[in-house]
Amino acid sequence: DGYVAGGYHRVALGEVYNNRYRTVAKLGWGHFSTVWLCEDLMVNGYAAMKVQKSARHYAEAAYDEIKILSRASKTRPANGGHTGVVELFDHFEHIGVHLNSNGTPGKHVCMVFEVMGPNVLALIKKYNFKGVPMALVRKVA
């Protein structure tokens, strides 16, 4: 099921991560991670927290993503405009409960992002694979 050493971290609703992010709902999952809607207790708002699988190659991929997103955030327009790249607010490591082959607990890289809308596939499915209305395409493009 993926919740094994090197795999997903079992997240429970209401848990607080990094003394800041309280999980509210599961937003989705993929091959590398799960994504959770979290209440940001420091700014009284919401964020999306991505919890990466703990195997070393997943952690390496997460740190590559963090480097790229950190560079992209430095190119944001001074007038507050948007670059079209999701904003990475924070990242940290969370110690998991499953032990690796060397007997140490796995570390899950967690990335915290701005909350965004549904993904493109969700929009395509919503419109029964018959095309997304042009007005909506213009709005999200």
In this prediction, residue 122 carries a pLDDT of 80
Per-residue pLDDT of the chain (141 residues), as tens digits, is 788 888 999 999 999 999 999 999 999 999 999 999 999 999 999 999 999 999 999 999 999 999 999 888 777 666 666 677 888 999 999 998 877 777 788 899 999 999 987 777 788 888 999 988 898 887 766
Q: Percentage of the chain surpassing pLDDT 70?
A: 93
CA distance 71 to 5: 31
pLDDT in tens, 13-37: 999 999 999 999 999 999 999 999 9
In this prediction, residue 80 carries a pLDDT of 66
CA proximity to 19, closest of 39, 35, 37, 3: 39
Cβ atoms of residues 24 and 49 within 8 Å: no
In this prediction, residue 130 carries a pLDDT of 92
Cα within 13 Å of Cα(33), Cβ side: 20
Enter the tokens of residue 114.
């701005």
Which amino acid belongs to residue 18?
N
The answer to pTM > 0.95 is no
In this prediction, residue 54 carries a pLDDT of 92
C-beta neighbour count of 4 within 10 angstroms: 12
